[in-house]
């Protein structure tokens, strides 16, 4: 029998959050989407406005939130380096105070709570590919630290609330994910390269472009989220969710240029401070414990994402 749940999604108007709202509504649940629109937009969830099982609340998660829910997905936090570095103190507050409020709420309501953690907890990793038992190589005082250390502290809080207050927690470490509804000016590499290629502008390559990332398409990632949330109580993570196919940024640019048929040229710019040189998830745990693995190859995912941005840019007349 299907049981309707009340699901809170913090950061629900963002890139991942809005897709998660869609998915939870499709599954017949009620969704409370909480967002302060720092990087997310109302437009991302506009199509849900008339759905009676959907509610949108403007709220900053660094402040307490008293609502009644059965499950919580905690996604509120800017994810792109240019955004999380714009107001770094706020980024740490969102990660840490946001986690405390969400955990306090979960404790009171006895809700199961999911944390969107990140591969950034591994920092500039000296272990490759990254396994969950690797403790990471993070600079505590650099420009990325507000995010990296904030997310690490959030993981600590999740595990301490479990040990101390016996909460039901699920912690996913998300690796670079892309797809429709990324913000066109978001500054992350996939959206930036696609928008630049479609506009015929130079592709902004930071450093040599030999640094690597492993890109997961959004629908694959969400499938992993739900499998983790629905897994037995003793499966708590942290668990890597990402696509292990690894690419250099040069390879990514070449593929984007090929698929858009663009004449854009690559322009090299300085590499930002503490930019990780390599990143690739070991997903053995996700395979074994969740029966999960990604299905959508980069070429196919990029084609879908390019089609989305093409429509957006055409509609905006830019």
User: Which of 275, 293, 312, 313 is the binder for ligand UDP (CB under 6 A)?
Assistant: 275
Which window, 70-78, 106-114, 277-285, 308-316, contacts ligand NAD (CB under 6 A)?
70-78
Q: Which H or E run contains 6? A: strand 6-10
Q: How far is the CB of 31 from ligand NAD (least distance, A)?
A: 14
CB of 255 to ligand UDP, least distance (A): 14
Token pair in block for residue 198: 């479609």
Q: Does residue 17 belong to the site contacting ligand NAD (CB under 6 A)?
A: yes
Distances (CA, A) of 23 to 8, 18, 94, 176, 219: 13, 9, 24, 20, 10
61 lies in the binding site for ligand UDP (CB under 6 A): no
Q: 193 to 252, contacts with ligand UDP by CB under 6 A? A: 204-206, 211, 213, 249
The Cα–Cα gap between 218 and 195 comes to: 18
End-to-end CA distance of the chain: 49
CB 69 within 8 A of CB 108: no
Question: Interaction with ligand NAD in 77-136: which residues (CB under 6 A)?
Answer: 77-79, 94, 116, 118
Comparison of 75 and 203: residue with beta carbon closer to ligand NAD: 75
Check residue 65 for interaction with ligand UDP (CB under 6 A).
yes
The distance of closest approach from Cβ of residue 45 to ligand UDP in the complex, given in angstroms and rounded to an integer, is 22
161 is an active site residue: no
CB 70 within 8 A of CB 112: yes
Question: Which residue of the set 84, 122, 147, 178 is catalytic?
Answer: 147
Whole-number Å distance between alpha carbons of 236 and 80: 26
Question: What DSSP string runs through 55-113?
Answer: EEEE--TTS------SEEEE--S--SHHHHTTSHHHHHHHHHHHHHHHHHHHHHHT-EE
Residue for token pair 């040599």: 208
Binding at 14: pick from ligand NAD, ligand UDP, none (beta carbon under 5-8 Å per type): ligand NAD
Min dist. Cβ of residue 202 to ligand UDP (A): 10
Is the bond leading into 169 cis (omega within 30 degrees of zero)? no
- Window of 12-20, 227-235, 272-280, 289-297 that interacts with ligand NAD by CB under 6 A: 12-20
Question: Counting every residue, how long is the chain?
Answer: 318
Q: Per CB under 6 A, does 75 bind ligand NAD? A: yes
Map the footprint of ligand UDP across residues 135-164, applying CB under 6 A: none
Task: Evaluate whether 264 touches 257 at the Cβ level (below 8 Å).
Answer: yes
* Site size for ligand UDP (CB under 6 A): 23
d(CA 173, CA 158): 13
Minimum CB separation from ligand UDP for residue 11, in Å? 16
Spatial separation of the C-alpha atoms in residues 245 and 251, rounded to whole Å: 12
Contact between residue 298 and residue 248 where contact means Cβ atoms under 8 Å apart = no
12 versus 209: smaller Cβ distance to ligand NAD: 12
Binding residues for ligand UDP (CB under 6 A): 64-66, 80-81, 100-101, 104-105, 107-108, 176, 188-189, 192, 204-206, 211, 213, 249, 272, 275
By annotation, the residues acting in catalysis are: 147
Binding residues for ligand NAD (CB under 6 A): 10-11, 13-17, 34-40, 60-62, 75-79, 94, 116, 118, 174, 176-177
């Amino acid at each position: 029998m299907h049981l309707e749940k009340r699901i809170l999604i913090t950061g629900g108007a963002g890139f991942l959050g809005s897709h998660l709202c869609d998915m939870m509504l499709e599954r017949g649940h009620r969704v409370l989407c909480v967002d302060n629109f720092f990087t997310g937009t109302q437009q991302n969830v506009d199509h849900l406005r008339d759905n009676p099982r959907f509610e949108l609340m403007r709220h900053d998660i660094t402040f307490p939130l008293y609502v009644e829910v059965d499950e919580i997905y905690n996604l509120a936090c800017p994810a792109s380096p240019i955004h999380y570095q714009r107001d770094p103190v706020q980024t740490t507050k969102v990660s840490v105070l946001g986690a405390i409020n969400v955990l306090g709420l979960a404790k009171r309501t006895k809700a199961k709570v999911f944390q969107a953690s990140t591969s950034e907890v591994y920092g500039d990793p000296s272990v490759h590919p990254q396994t969950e038992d690797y403790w990471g190589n993070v600079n505590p005082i650099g420009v990325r630290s507000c995010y990296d250390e904030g997310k690490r502290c959030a993981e600590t809080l999740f595990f301490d609330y479990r040990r101390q207050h016996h909460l039901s927690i699920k912690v996913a470490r998300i690796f670079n994910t892309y797809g429709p509804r990324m913000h066109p000016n978001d500054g992350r590499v996939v959206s930036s390269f696609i928008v630049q290629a479609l506009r015929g502008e130079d592709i902004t390559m930071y450093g040599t472009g030999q640094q690597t990332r492993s890109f997961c398409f959004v629908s694959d990632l969400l499938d992993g989220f739900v499998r983790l949330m629905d897994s037995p109580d003793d499966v708590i993570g942290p668990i890597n969710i990402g696509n292990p196919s690894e690419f250099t940024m040069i390879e990514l640019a070449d593929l984007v240029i090929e698929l858009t048929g663009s004449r854009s040229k690559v322009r090299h710019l300085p590499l930002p401070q503490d930019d990780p040189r390599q990143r690739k998830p070991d997903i053995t745990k996700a395979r074994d414990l969740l029966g999960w693995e990604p299905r959508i190859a980069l070429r196919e995912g990029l084609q879908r994402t390019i089609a989305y941005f093409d429509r957006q840019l055409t509609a905006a007349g830019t």
